[in-house]
Amino acid sequence: MLGPDGGGVTTFSHRDMPMAQMAAVAGPGMGAAAMESLRSAMPGMVSTKFSQLSDLPPPMAFLVACGAANDTNQARKTLDEHHDAALRDVTQLRLPGAGFTALDWAARKGNFEIAQWLATDARTRGLTRTGAPVGWACYTNHVELAKMLVGYGADVHATDVVFWTHAHALMAPGRG
């Protein structure tokens, strides 16, 4: 979880990680059984400790700013500073172990401002055609965000193996 200074632990998951850390990826309101399902469905994920977002490598700082941190300014700053090198093609950038794109994670977390920026910035708007951002927005009940993404050209029917892997684990009978 991120503290008020932007530091803390962000979770990319691991089979042995505590449930509290899992919430950074899982989102609020997810039951223990559903988190256990998510953990078992994604055994390769890892947990990373940091004091501030700038401690992370630029690609990871960008992803965390768009997702768990919900920090538009930090996401923009990271992209501005590293677009020509580490963040040249953000459509290929995925959260380690989870597989979310920056827009998938923003949509899943309900980060409307970040999702709108990602869908409209020339450097990132290709994310509307990668992953399943509309699916994640709908799955997490962020209907207005999903409508906004569709308005910017995101495919309402788009899906990928990441979406189905996570959704299947969370919707399994008896799993929360």
Mean local confidence (pLDDT), 4-27: 40
* Structural domains in the chain (count): 1
Record the tokens describing residue 131, joined without a space.
Answer: 């992953």
Kindly report the CATH number assigned to the domain that includes residue 97: 1.25.40.20
Which residues, other chains included, contact 72 with Cβ-Cβ below 8 Å and sequence gap of 6+?
65, 113, 114, 117
Asked if the structure places residue 131 within a domain, the reply is yes
d(CA 172, CA 18): 21
d(CA 168, CA 27): 16
Q: Is the pLDDT of residue 34 over 60?
A: no
Asked if the structure places residue 3 within a domain, the reply is no
Spell out a b/e string for 95-127, using b for 16 or more CB atoms within 10 Å of the CB, else e: bebbbbbbbbbbbbbbbbebbbbbbeeeebbbb
d(CA 83, CA 19): 34
Q: Is the pLDDT of residue 14 over 50?
A: no
Give the model's pLDDT for residue 167: 55
Asked if the structure places residue 1 within a domain, the reply is no
Identify the top-confidence range among 3-12, 122-131, 160-169. 122-131
d(CA 133, CA 138): 9
Domain enclosing residue 18, as ranges:
8-171
Predicted TM-score of the model (pTM): 0.70
Mean pLDDT of the chain, nearest integer: 74
57-81 pLDDT, tens digit per residue, is 899 889 989 998 999 999 999 999 9
Residue predicted with more confidence, 106 or 53: 106
Give the model's pLDDT for residue 116: 98
Give the model's pLDDT for residue 88: 82
